């Protein structure tokens, strides 16, 4: 807590300096001349820099309120501060950069280092990265900043199948090759990874986010075999971006002190993502789908799925772009998200009937952006959730209101 207070004091001093001399503290301009991809999201953020100091600071805040009713029962209106995120970047020397992202969740109850790496640029096609790396599986895991999205809740598939903001200690390479209208990129990392908490957890199902509760993944591998994450993507200036990614490795402790405990059991995820903006209407389309396959021990019941899949599709339509309430270049958007997750794809061995355990959700919304760095959001969320036996769906509906802003 003392460290947090010290940081906030320093942040306040920085704001005071900004107020006294706006020429001393300046916002770093973004390079809009080049095509940006999802892999650029960690650096493609607004930063503030004081004078000629080599360090730049930034961050974002999210604050929300919600009122939900599930099968006629409500816990009333509640307010949330889900996250305050601070990022800091530095150019150590020519072609050597450092960036870190630190997130304070739920009012500071949890403090996580989501990203902290040094990049060494050798060639556009070959760059080195090491430290705490955000595994590039899908698109949302790297490109998750709240101010970039018109929806308050993060996608189910990107939080409950792909663990949201999943990062690990490791190293790897990345690179790009581009023409005027087309750019290709890749990333390849070796990191620490999952552990057996994905099947030994309080959810009593195959639950990949449980591995995030293991802080030792930043110190050592659970079983000595690295998790491999690879992604390739191509972006066309007019068509959009298409990405394919894979993440896989052994998740169990199969050997200890030379004694064989079990066979090596793998967990693999495959994801496809796409985003595009239609030129004529400026309609933004963004989608992602992920498949997960796990080798589950035969001693576990069938409520632990060995196959999971899910995804989401977002459509955002600007309906008004003008000066609104005195804010220049403001935008009013209509938005719709459709999402689906199935935590146990398959059939029961005994009855040959379907295993259910899935969720459908629709989220219409409206958002107002007084600037591109700030979004005020109103969503209505309605979901249908069926249990493993396929009993009538539990129906949940509710409203969400909040904002997210870079600072």
Length of the chain: 407
Contact 56, 45 (CB under 8 A): no
pTM, to two decimals: 0.90
Spatial separation of the C-alpha atoms in residues 81 and 72, rounded to whole Å = 26
CA distance 165 to 102: 11
Provide the H-helix boundaries in 83-240: none
With the C-alpha atoms ordered 13, 16, 22, 24, is the resulting torsion angle positive or negative?
Answer: negative
Residue that wins the pLDDT comparison between 326 and 24:
326
On whether the CB atoms of residues 291 and 270 are closer than 8 A, the answer is: yes
Q: Inform me whether the pLDDT recorded for 390 exceeds 60.
A: yes
Q: Would residue 304 be called left, alpha or beta, if left means φ above 0 and alpha means ψ between -120 and 50 degrees?
A: beta
Of the candidates 156, 145, 148, 164, the residue with the CA atom closest to the CA atom of residue 313: 156
Q: Are 387 and 51 in contact (CB under 8 A)?
A: no
d(CA 2, CA 134): 27
339 or 53, which is more confident: 339
The CA distances from residue 345 to 240, 264, 303, 340, 358, in Å, are 31, 22, 10, 13, 9
Query: What's the pLDDT score for residue 324?
Result: 94
pLDDT in the model for residue 13: 43
Nearest to 289 by CA among 347, 248, 249, 243: 243
* Spatial separation of the C-alpha atoms in residues 377 and 153, rounded to whole Å: 11
pLDDT, tens digit, 9 for 90 and up, residues 123-182: 999 999 999 999 999 999 999 999 999 999 999 999 999 999 999 999 999 999 998 899
Q: Per-residue pLDDT tens for 194-251?
A: 999 999 999 999 999 999 988 888 999 999 999 999 999 999 999 999 999 999 999 9
CA distance 322 to 326: 10
pLDDT value at residue 21: 46
Q: How far apart are CA 242 and CA 38, in angstroms?
A: 10
Nearest to 262 by CA among 295, 307, 220: 295
pLDDT digits (tens, 9 = 90+) for 198-209: 999 999 999 999
Structure tokens given for 364: 């219409």
User: Radius of gyration of the chain from Cα atoms?
Assistant: 22
What's the mean per-residue pLDDT of the chain?
91
Structure tokens at 357: 């355990």
Half-sphere exposure of 149 (CA within 13 A, CB side): 23
Confidence of residue 81 (pLDDT cuts 50, 70, 90): very high
pLDDT, residue 53, reads 82
pLDDT at 25: 53
pLDDT of 8 reads 43
Give the C-alpha separation, 324 to 318, whole Å.
14
* Residue-wise pLDDT tens digits, 263-288: 999 999 999 999 999 999 999 999 99
Percentage of the chain modeled with pLDDT above 70 = 92
Is residue 190 within 8 Å of residue 178, measured between CB atoms? no
Looking at residue 54, its pLDDT comes to: 84
Give the number of C-alpha atoms closer than 13 A to the C-alpha of residue 200, restricted to the C-beta side.
10
pLDDT of residue 30: 58
Ordered structural domains, the chain, with CATH: 8-406 (2.40.160.10)
Per-residue pLDDT, averaged over 32-42, amounts to: 79
**Which two three-digit tokens encode residue 394?**
């539990």
Query: End-to-end distance of the chain based on CA atoms, in angstroms?
Result: 22
Between the CA atoms of 159, 157, 79 and 327, what dihedral angle is there, to the nearest 10 degrees? 100
Residues 6+ apart with CB under 8 A from 274: 240, 241, 242, 243, 285, 286, 287, 288
Q: Report the SS3 class of residue 3.
A: helix
> Residue-wise over 196-205: b if at least 16 C-beta within 10 A, else e?
bbbbebeeeb
Tell me which H or E stretch contains 292. Answer: strand 283-294
Mean of the pLDDT values across residues 312-323?
97
């Amino acid at each position: 807590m003392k460290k947090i207070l010290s940081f906030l004091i320093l942040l306040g001093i920085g704001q005071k300096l900004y107020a006294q001399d706006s020429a001393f503290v300046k916002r770093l301009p973004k390079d809009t001349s080049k095509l940006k991809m999802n892999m650029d999201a960690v650096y493609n953020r607004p930063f503030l820099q004081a004078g000629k100091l080599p360090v730049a600071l930034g961050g974002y805040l999210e604050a929300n309120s919600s009122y939900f009713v599930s099968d006629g029962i409500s816990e009333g209106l509640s307010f949330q501060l889900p996250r305050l995120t601070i990022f800091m970047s530095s150019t150590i020397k020519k072609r050597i950069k450092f960036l870190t992202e630190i997130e304070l969740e739920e009012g500071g109850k949890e403090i996580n280092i989501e990203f902290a790496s040094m990049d060494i640029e050798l060639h556009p096609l070959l760059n080195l990265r090491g430290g705490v790396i955000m595994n590039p599986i899908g698109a949302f895991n790297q490109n998750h900043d709240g101010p970039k999205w018109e929806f308050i809740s993060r996608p189910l598939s990107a939080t409950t199948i792909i663990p949201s903001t999943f990062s690990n200690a490791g190293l790897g390479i990345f690179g790009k090759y581009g023409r005027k209208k087309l750019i290709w990129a890749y990333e390849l990392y070796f990191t620490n990874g999952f552990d057996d908490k994905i099947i030994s957890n309080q959810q009593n199902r195959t639950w990949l986010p449980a591995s995030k509760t293991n802080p030792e993944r930043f110190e050592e591998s659970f079983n000595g075999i690295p998790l491999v994450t690879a992604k390739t993507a191509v972006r066309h200036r007019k068509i959009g971006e298409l990405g394919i990614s894979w993440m896989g490795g052994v998740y169990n402790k199969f050997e200890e002190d030379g004694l064989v405990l079990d066979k090596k059991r793998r967990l693999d995820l495959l994801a496809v993502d796409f985003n595009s903006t239609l030129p004529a209407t400026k309609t933004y389309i963004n989608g992602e789908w992920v498949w997960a396959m796990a080798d589950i021990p035969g001693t576990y019941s069938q409520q632990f799925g060995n196959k999971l899949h899910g995804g989401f599709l977002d459509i955002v339509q600007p309906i008004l772009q003008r000066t609104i309430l005195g804010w220049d270049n403001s935008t009013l958007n209509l938005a719709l998200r459709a999402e689906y997750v199935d935590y146990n794809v398959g059939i029961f061995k005994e009855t040959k009937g379907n295993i259910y355990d899935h969720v459908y959700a629709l989220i219409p919304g409206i958002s107002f952006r007084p600037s591109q760095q700030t979004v005020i959001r109103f969503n209505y969320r309605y979901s249908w959730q069926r249990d493993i036996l396929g009993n009538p769906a539990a129906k949940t509906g509710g409203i969400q209101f909040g904002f997210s802003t870079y600072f």
